[in-house]
Structure 1
Amino acid sequence: MTVNKEMALQSGTNRWEILDATTLKLVAVALMFLDRIHQMFVHVGAPVWLTMLGRPVFPIFLFVSAESFYHTHNKKKYL
């Protein structure tokens, strides 16, 4: 057993828990940045795949918001 697996077993975390809400938000921000690059340079000939990469940003942010709302203790304050 490797050191990382032992540490994960001792701490009680799963190895797939690296994709938490903060990581999802950072991925969404990076994808949104690529979409904005396409919008700024579309007249120069920026590739369309830049904007295609940016399309999942809204569903990612909706998912993170829904998960955060579900797990919050004070739903009124969260809203």
Structure 2
Amino acid sequence: MANSTVQFDLTNPQHVAMRKLMADIYTRHTQAFYSGVNDTMKRYEGMAQGLEKVALYVLADHTLHQLCFELSCALYAQQECLLEVAA
């Protein structure tokens, strides 16, 4: 996966708040995997996709949209990798 060229603007309160939400979603997604709760993992993937839509349609912030999209992709890839290793 390519590295992102976009970055959070830590002087922007919306970026700081979204970064906190994204970190929470990522952490809980990983915890759900290690707890063996696949439905919960999918729920957190859905939350990441919801953040994408908020960034694009509500905040109209294309940088945040890209970062949220990358989170969604990372969660999906992580889930596929972890499930493959567990099999």
Q: Indicate the structure (1 or 2) with the bigger Cα radius of gyration.
A: 1
Which interval holds the TM-score relative to the shorter structure? 0.3 to 0.5
Greater share of residues in helix:
2
Specify which structure has the bigger relative contact order, considering alpha-carbon pairs within 8 angstroms and separated by 6 or more residues.
2
Q: TM-score, normalised by structure 1?
A: 0.46
Q: TM-score, normalised by structure 2?
A: 0.43
